[in-house]
Amino acid sequence: MDLDPNLVINHDDTNLSEISYTMEQDSSSYSLEMGGTPSSAGHRKVDMWQNHNFDSGFQTMNHSEAPSIISSLHPSSHLSGMSSMAEYEPIPNLSEQQKQKFDGITKNPTDGQYNTVRAIPELTMLMKDQDNEVVQKAVMIMQNIAKMECDAMRRQNETKIVDPRVIFTLRDLLRDKVDHPNIIRFTLGTLFNICNRQEGIDLVTRAISEQPDIIPNLIRHIGTFANSIYKYAILTMHSILSDKQRGGQSVTIARQQDAIIHVTPWLEAEKSEKLLPVIVDLIRVLCEKNTDQKVKFVKMGGPQKLLHILQQRGYENLLWRSTQLLKTFSNFDAPGLVAFGGRQILAGMLSHGSPRLVLSTLETLRNISDVPSKMKEELLLKSLLELVNSRNAVIRLYSAQTMSNLVANNRPNKEYMCSNNGVVNLCRALALATKDWQNFQDKEAQQMEDYAESLICTLRHLCVGHPLAEKVQAYVFREPSIFLHKLMTMRPVLLKHTLNLLLKVVSQNALLAPFLLCRIGEIGFVEQLIHILRVACTQLNVQDVIEGVRVKDIVHLCIQILRLITRNPDILNEVDFFLRSPENSRMGDGHTLPIFVLQKANVEENTKSSTLELIYNLMHHEKMADHLERDEILCKMLQSVQMQAANHPELANLAANILKLMSEKRERNRIHYGRHGSFESQFGHLSVAAQRTEVMNSHGETYEGAGEQWSQPMSDDSMMESYCNSSGRDSSKTYNSPMYHSPPSMYPEYPNGPPSGPYYDPHASTSTRPTPPHYGNYDSPPVYNNIPSNQGPSSHLSDQYPYRQGRF
């Protein structure tokens, strides 16, 4: 006989009458279809629990009206509506003898009702029966109990399946009933529904810790296509492995059993867009923070399969999860993704209406954007130009960062940007960011800083390396106050990128006039540059890196810019004034900034070369030349460098030119003032023709700070000695800094003495700020006429970005 109509499923003997009338009608119709006879309401309720597979959206691939259990357990997975199979097998027709085995499974002699407290242990024993039809009936009833418990609208107050022996019995069925797909299907369905409740997950993971072979038996059935068994296996594996509290041990076992090899083929073979997100997320869990699993996935062509999904599918959840997994591999195998056309395929996702999909796509693109490629990227660049003005702060930041990498050292991409509103859009975005900067604090301010940094870096790349470079420089510098503002923020990363951009801009003579005239308050570019140089110099012996930026890089860039701009006489006047101010002329032991830089042992050779070129330029200013010529340490260093011609020919040549200028100046002063004796008394022992032994004092000891050994770091008080004893580095090879691509060394064409031009009055007081030279017929720099005036599109979203503490 069948189960008693009054069968209950909780400890309190609560009757099934609490289930809705709609469910009763559904189960009644199902019983009729299965060949049963209409029964009373109690019979219909029992039949519903015993025979009918409740569908909460998991069984028919349809979205359920109630919230998904998986979604509630794992909010990040968004698996609501996932299913495992749509077809059902008829209930086995048991003989009278077989039915008798179910007679006493849950009967309570006191009230004649059945309850799950007795039913579950009896069903557990029946699942071990030798009769496969009995086993199938028992596991089917167990599945329905598990299904009712996991359904939020139908479950009772307490979980009834709490005995690990139930899990072990289900494991035995997976192992021993491989030739009986219906039993396997119901077994996996039972495990799946048990895992849809947190208590069930805890029960299964505890059982796995006792008997780990549960996972291998699950993996075994991932490849079983019959009766859609693989679907339940995949769903159950995902539920177990993605549990954040206890899933770690199960993930380790799954990796050891090569679960990734069994799951990956389904990316291509599975047709359901609702099961594919589960497969993708299961692969993510297996590959997370595990190089071996990633290698196996790449060898199986996993990334290509994900890219194919992006091309062929349209389900947003699937697309988002695929980009999330690709993001993991963008940091692992970026060249492979680019080679398979990843940038072109991902570009198509940027026009999607889902903000989270666009953001995930942008992050993946940013991670692979620095990989060189010869493929055309116009579509990607066009999409990035549309997103760079987005109101979503993270989207516009990632767009700018990706664009910066794409145009770096890529002439076709630079030319596309310059001919398609790229420069206009970037300049407008930078101006807006600068304007809005004052309105933000904390996280928003940091967010805006990172955005401005990326825009400046992109503009810097566009200022060189293509035929329109000079026009881009002129257009970018139409508003020089923007870049002066960035220098005044004193933020290390902004300083580095802004100085790099200015280094390109000041190479044009026409742009030196706005460079000189631009002011924010009373501060101009020259004063701020020298201020930055002084602050950086004071940090050279304190810390090497500030917020990811090397202090030596800031020093080098400031020296490079000063070297270039001092070819202009009016700027040379300002440089002279600020370098000889008290705070800048008393560095270290009382030296001016360029000499202080030469003394530092931890400054690189290319920086010292640029510093010598700057000193050469400064020697063409009368007052600065007097100041430099009176510095004995400088003269000794120059002589020491000159004697190292074999090891450092370029530096030796620079030192010789500076000493020659000093000698010519002394000669002119002798003729003009007739004071040859006083000059000899001061510098007679430091003439250009002085021998190497003359760099010693009266006790035969070398002067401290007279040179530097380039091959290794030194203290500041061993300059001259190290110059005379340099070793260890192959000085015959040209020194190339890995950090810079600086313009060629600039030598002013002043072979016969200082240039004629306006200088400050030699007797003028230095206690006041110099007055900028007046340009009566100042012409504006050439306008980038080839850039269209179209302002370009923008989007409207919002987000936040983390704040970076600290100031330079």
In this predicted structure, which of 256-260, 501-505, 739-743, 789-793 has the lowest mean pLDDT? Answer: 739-743
In this predicted structure, which of 132-136, 311-315, 431-435, 765-769 has the lowest mean pLDDT? Answer: 765-769
The CA dihedral of 705, 707, 708, 710, to the nearest 10 degrees, is 170
Per-residue pLDDT at 290 exceeds 90 = yes
Per-residue pLDDT at 647 exceeds 90 = no
Q: Angle between the 276-287 and 291-299 helix axes, to the nearest 10 degrees?
A: 130
Adjacent-strand bridge partners of 591: 587
| Dihedral sign from CA coordinates of 367, 370, 371, 373 | positive
> Are 135 and 177 in contact, with CB atoms under 8 Å apart?
yes
Tell the residue number behind the tokens 């291509």, with chain if given.
Answer: 268
The amino acid that residue 244 corresponds to is: K
- Tell me the pairing of strands 549-550 and 523-524: unpaired
> Are 595 and 631 in contact, with CB atoms under 8 Å apart?
yes
Q: What is the mean predicted confidence (pLDDT) over 312-322? A: 96
Q: What is residue 333's predicted lDDT score, i.e. its pLDDT?
A: 93
Tokens matching residue 49: 């629990």
Q: Angle between the 21-33 and 41-51 helix axes, to the nearest 10 degrees?
A: 70
Collapse the DSSP code of 312 into the 3-class scheme (helix H, G, I; strand E, B; otherwise coil) and give the result: helix
Per-residue pLDDT at 604 exceeds 60 = yes
Element (H, E) at 519: strand 519-520
Residue with more model confidence, 636 or 758: 636
Adjacent-strand bridge partners of 519: 524
> Are 624 and 709 in contact, with CB atoms under 8 Å apart?
no
Burial class (CB in 10 A: 0-12, 13-18, 19+), 497: buried
- Condensed to tens digits (0 to 9), the pLDDT of residues 148-196 reads 887 766 555 566 788 899 999 999 999 999 999 999 999 999 999 999 8
Tell the residue number behind the tokens 């002394």, with chain if given.
Answer: 666
- Condensed to tens digits (0 to 9), the pLDDT of residues 693-728 reads 333 333 333 333 323 222 333 233 332 232 233 233
Q: What is residue 227's predicted lDDT score, i.e. its pLDDT?
A: 76
**238 closest CA partner among 228, 229, 247:** 247
Average pLDDT, the chain: 74
Structure confidence at residue 146 as a pLDDT band (50, 70, 90): confident
Q: What are phi and psi of 94, to 5 degrees?
A: -80, 145
Collapse the DSSP code of 701 into the 3-class scheme (helix H, G, I; strand E, B; otherwise coil) and give the result: coil
Residue 419 neighbours by CB under 8 Å, 6+ apart? 786
Domain ranges of the chain: 89-257
Q: What is the mean predicted confidence (pLDDT) over 608-636? A: 90
Distance in angstroms (rounded) separating the CA atoms of residues 330 and 303: 10
Q: What is residue 90's predicted lDDT score, i.e. its pLDDT?
A: 55
Please give the distance of CA 488 from its chain centroid, rounded to a whole number.
27
For 288, left (φ over 0), alpha (ψ -120 to 50), or beta?
Answer: beta
Tokens matching residue 356: 């989270």
Q: What is the mean predicted confidence (pLDDT) over 218-235? A: 89
Adjacent-strand bridge partners of 696: 702
Q: What is residue 437's predicted lDDT score, i.e. its pLDDT?
A: 73
Q: What is residue 777's predicted lDDT score, i.e. its pLDDT?
A: 34
Per-residue pLDDT at 539 exceeds 60 = yes
Residue with more model confidence, 163 or 780: 163
Q: What is residue 673's predicted lDDT score, i.e. its pLDDT?
A: 60
Please give the distance of CA 7 from its chain centroid, rounded to a whole number.
58
Q: Which residues of 379-396 are buried (b: 16+ CB within 10 A; e: fewer)?
A: ebbbbbbbbbbbebbbbb
Tokens matching residue 648: 């450092």
Distance in angstroms (rounded) separating the CA atoms of residues 537 and 531: 10
The amino acid that residue 256 corresponds to is: Q
Residue with more model confidence, 787 or 585: 585
Burial class (CB in 10 A: 0-12, 13-18, 19+), 110: exposed
DSSP class of 233: H
Q: What is the mean predicted confidence (pLDDT) over 358-372? A: 96
Q: What is residue 243's predicted lDDT score, i.e. its pLDDT?
A: 87
Scanning 52-153, the segments in alpha helix (DSSP H) are 69-73, 96-100, 116-126, 132-150
**343 closest CA partner among 315, 313, 303:** 303
Q: What is residue 91's predicted lDDT score, i.e. its pLDDT?
A: 60
Give percent above pLDDT 90 in the chain.
Answer: 48
Burial class (CB in 10 A: 0-12, 13-18, 19+), 160: buried
Residue with more model confidence, 195 or 36: 195
DSSP class of 550: E
**143 closest CA partner among 68, 194, 96:** 194
Helices vs. strands in the chain: H and E counts, helices first: 41, 4
Structure confidence at residue 60 as a pLDDT band (50, 70, 90): very low
Burial class (CB in 10 A: 0-12, 13-18, 19+), 523: middle
Tell the residue number behind the tokens 């003028």, with chain if given.
Answer: 764
Angle, CA of 627, 633 and 638, to the nearest 5°: 95
Structure confidence at residue 588 as a pLDDT band (50, 70, 90): confident
Residue 198 neighbours by CB under 8 Å, 6+ apart? 73
CATH number assigned to the domain with residue range 89-257, chosen from the 4 options 1.25.10.10, 3.40.50.2000, 2.40.10.340, 1.10.30.50: 1.25.10.10
Tokens matching residue 136: 């199938």
Distance in angstroms (rounded) separating the CA atoms of residues 462 and 422: 9
Scanning 490-565, the segments in alpha helix (DSSP H) are 492-505, 512-517, 525-539, 551-565
In this predicted structure, which of 146-160, 289-303, 684-698 has the lowest mean pLDDT? Answer: 684-698
Global pTM reads: 0.71
Distance in angstroms (rounded) separating the CA atoms of residues 396 and 795: 10
Per-residue pLDDT at 67 exceeds 60 = no
Distance in angstroms (rounded) separating the CA atoms of residues 169 and 227: 21
For 579, left (φ over 0), alpha (ψ -120 to 50), or beta?
Answer: alpha
**24 closest CA partner among 3, 9, 42:** 42
Q: What is residue 481's predicted lDDT score, i.e. its pLDDT?
A: 94
